[in-house]
Structure 1
Amino acid sequence: MTAIAEHKPAPPKPGTGGGDGGFIDLVLRFRELTILAALIVLVAVTTAVNPRFLSAQGVEDIFLNASILVLLAVGQTLVVVTRNIDLSVGSTVGLVAFVVGDFVTNSDHGLVVAVALGVGIGAVCGLVNGLLVSFCGVPALVVTLGTLYVIQGLNHYIAHGEQISAAEVPQSILDLGNGAILGVPYLPLISVVVMLLVGYYLRAYSSGREFYAIGSSPEAARLAGVPIRRRVLTAYLASGVLAGLAGTLWLARFGTVIADPAKGWELKVVAAVVVGGVAIVGGVGTVYGAALGALLITTIGSVLVVLKINSFWQEAIVGLLLLLAISADRLVALRLARVLRKRNARHG
């Protein structure tokens, strides 16, 4: 047995990137605090212009609209921290929303079966992506771009130009999307619970920290005995499952569904994750930051509607935020490299 095998390096803590942990953790906290501050300023300015923006109904609408994006961002975070990407989540949401809607409107099944079916379809999509990326070695961008179009085509074939009407959807499913418990809507509650569970897993379990080890340095992770293929497959499977759940919640939230209703959401999800501090090169970030990124992007959309500004600007602003986030990640990487070179020089 080699020395490496006898002394396996411990996977880095979540968000540390396996390097100067204190510096990276400080940057991540700063990024998340910056997003929170931007949210507060955005809401304050908009409320000053239109006081109704911060009404109970306005706040509820923002959280309801953000819930599905948060779910997708949590799943995408698992993939991105392993140095991969999943561009098929928007198409998966659309496929699940229509198929589940079509199924429940033509049968006597209710909420439980609808959720199980949606999660199952999402799991299959995630499993296909994961197998192609982890075991076949096909680049993630190529795989998920391909499955994006395959799922879109399948969705349009199944829909045949028809749509699901809210009047046909069972009330139990609609209640999930628009109901509440103790005044708290179900959708935000589900998203928060999922976010907390995934965040706790990534931080508290060694298998969770291995996702970050893979993203920080795949070669070092391999030498440390991390099951890279299995973890990458798990990341895609989890992303698919959450996309399936999100698709079911989409049906529950809106009731009326056309073919491919979440078209273009894959880029919105990636933007939320990267703006939230998850490095596109992997190894750094948290699901909490990704959720904040999703909330910020959703709030920007609501603000533009309230201020009666052309929706085009939402895409422009999201694109600008994405460029700024990627630039910030690059600057952090360069700063970290300089810190490590100085440290190595002192100990050399």
Structure 2
Amino acid sequence: MAAVTADAGGRRLVDIVLRARELSIVAALIVLVAVTTAANSSFLSSQGVKDIFLNASILALLAVGQTMVVVTRNIDLSVGSVVGLVAFASGKFVLGHDRNIVLVLVLGMAIGAVCGLVNGVLVSFFKVPALVVTLGTLYVIQGLDYYWAHGQQINAADVPSSLLELGSGSVLGIPYLPLITIVVMVVVGYYLRSFPSGREFYAIGSNPDAARLAGISIRKRILTAYVVSGVLAGLAGVLWLARFGTVVADAAHGWELKVVSAVVVGGVAIVGGLGSVYGAALGALLLTTIGSVLVVLKVNSFWQDAIAGLLLLLAISVDRLLSLRVTRALRRRNARHGA
């Protein structure tokens, strides 16, 4: 009974830490928006707000998939290249044809799933370090994309209007892209928190040895995490084409670091076992808002990457500090119950 009580107390403590991180991001967003609006009243115009959410949608979608990977103590650096490959492949698929949107989405997610499957098999079954695997597939996929494109560009004029409508249209005044991202985020978030198999991802990240002794199929869960990340990257690739219309071979180049930054800034521990898809999405929204603020204030775009890097370092430092404090608190709690 004492062990169960201690474990429940530990979970409550972790939940408090997560809520604190997410609330701090919300507070930072409010302050950032308030200060920028005071400097430029047009920042909070209906179009300005719409653009922020549209720009954040694809990054948040990728952050949701990356969260599933990171909580298992792994990482996926190939997501940016997958987005670029799928965006170009989808553009070629619809070129000169009015394809069914569902078919285009299925094709994009299927390509992403294959890329995720390759990553997952190499990491989970062949025990190759995730950093090495996904860095390798990043360059392989980029190389394939460049070879296939041969400098060709997909133009918005050649993309069916029905697909472009997915990127610019709305329902009840709410753009489709944020709606899609919110639905995916809620589904994945609910699964990770409410289903035993979803909690297993966190168990693997918290303590792989204990998870193995508890009978959790670590290989299966890691493989699943990479496939989900690949599927969402594929979906993001189609949405990229729908959002921007014009696509070249290096679409989403460098976005893998933006995605990792959004996830870590959003409170997902880089060492695994802690974090939520909601925090990751908030991290993506914060980074996107910072980018919009810099544009409004006419600050050099270089500072966007610099600030993202600074936030990443700060988030990792905070994660480490919180991890040490939570560990000490749990040890004291367990010692009291043990006594």
Same fold (TM over 0.5): yes
Q: Indicate the residue corresponding to 1:97 in structure 2.
A: 87
Report the Cα distance in structure 2 between the residues aligned to 1:87 and 1:239, rounded to whole angstroms. Answer: 10
Residue 260 of structure 1: how far off its partner (Å): 1.8
**Partner SS, residue 20 of structure 1:** helix
Q: What is the 5 A alignment of 1:1-348?
A: 20-346=10-336, 347=338
Report the Cα distance in structure 2 between the residues aligned to 1:341 and 1:327, rounded to whole angstroms. Answer: 21
* C-alpha spacing 1:281/1:19, structure 2 compared with 1 (3 Å): farther
Deviation track 1:250-288 (CA, whole Å, cap 9, x = no partner) reads 000000001121011000000000000000000000000
Query: Which amino acid counterpart does residue 222 of structure 1 have in structure 2?
Result: R
Report the Cα distance in structure 2 between the residues aligned to 1:124 and 1:210, rounded to whole angstroms. Answer: 23
Question: Do the aligned partners of 1:178 and 1:186 also contact (CA within 8 Å) in 2?
Answer: yes
Question: Do the aligned partners of 2:116 and 2:229 also contact (CA within 8 Å) in 1?
Answer: yes
**Partner SS, residue 128 of structure 2:** coil
Greater displacement, 95-104 / 22-31: 22-31
Question: Do the aligned partners of 2:287 and 2:308 also contact (CA within 8 Å) in 1?
Answer: yes
Report the Cα distance in structure 1 between the residues aligned to 2:245 and 2:334, rounded to whole angstroms. Answer: 59
Q: How many residues align?
A: 334
Query: Which amino acid counterpart does residue 186 of structure 1 have in structure 2?
Result: Y
Query: Which amino acid counterpart does residue 52 of structure 1 have in structure 2?
Result: S
Query: Which amino acid counterpart does residue 327 of structure 1 have in structure 2?
Result: S
Question: Do the aligned partners of 1:130 and 1:236 also contact (CA within 8 Å) in 2?
Answer: yes
Q: Could you state the TM-score of these two structures normalised by the residue count of structure 2?
A: 0.96
Report the Cα distance in structure 1 between the residues aligned to 2:127 and 2:229, rounded to whole angstroms. Answer: 19
Query: Which amino acid counterpart does residue 236 of structure 2 have in structure 1?
Result: A
Query: Which amino acid counterpart does residue 270 of structure 1 have in structure 2?
Result: V
| RMSD after superposition | 1.5
Report the Cα distance in structure 2 between the residues aligned to 1:290 and 1:345, rounded to whole angstroms. Answer: 33
Gaps of 5+ in 1: 1-8, 11-15
Query: Which amino acid counterpart does residue 209 of structure 1 have in structure 2?
Result: R
Query: Which amino acid counterpart does residue 282 of structure 1 have in structure 2?
Result: G
Query: Which amino acid counterpart does residue 301 of structure 1 have in structure 2?
Result: G
* C-alpha spacing 1:188/1:344, structure 2 compared with 1 (3 Å): closer
Report % sequence identity.
Answer: 74
Query: Which amino acid counterpart does residue 144 of structure 1 have in structure 2?
Result: T
Question: Do the aligned partners of 1:86 and 1:141 also contact (CA within 8 Å) in 2?
Answer: yes
Report the Cα distance in structure 2 between the residues aligned to 1:214 and 1:19, rounded to whole angstroms. Answer: 20
Q: Indicate the residue corresponding to 1:5 in structure 2.
A: none
Question: Do the aligned partners of 1:216 and 1:283 also contact (CA within 8 Å) in 2?
Answer: yes
Question: Do the aligned partners of 2:96 and 2:159 also contact (CA within 8 Å) in 1?
Answer: no
Gaps of 5+ in 2: none
Question: Do the aligned partners of 1:110 and 1:170 also contact (CA within 8 Å) in 2?
Answer: no
Deviation track 1:294-347 (CA, whole Å, cap 9, x = no partner) reads 000000000000000000111111111101110011111211232234345443
Residue 23 of structure 1: how far off its partner (Å): 2.2
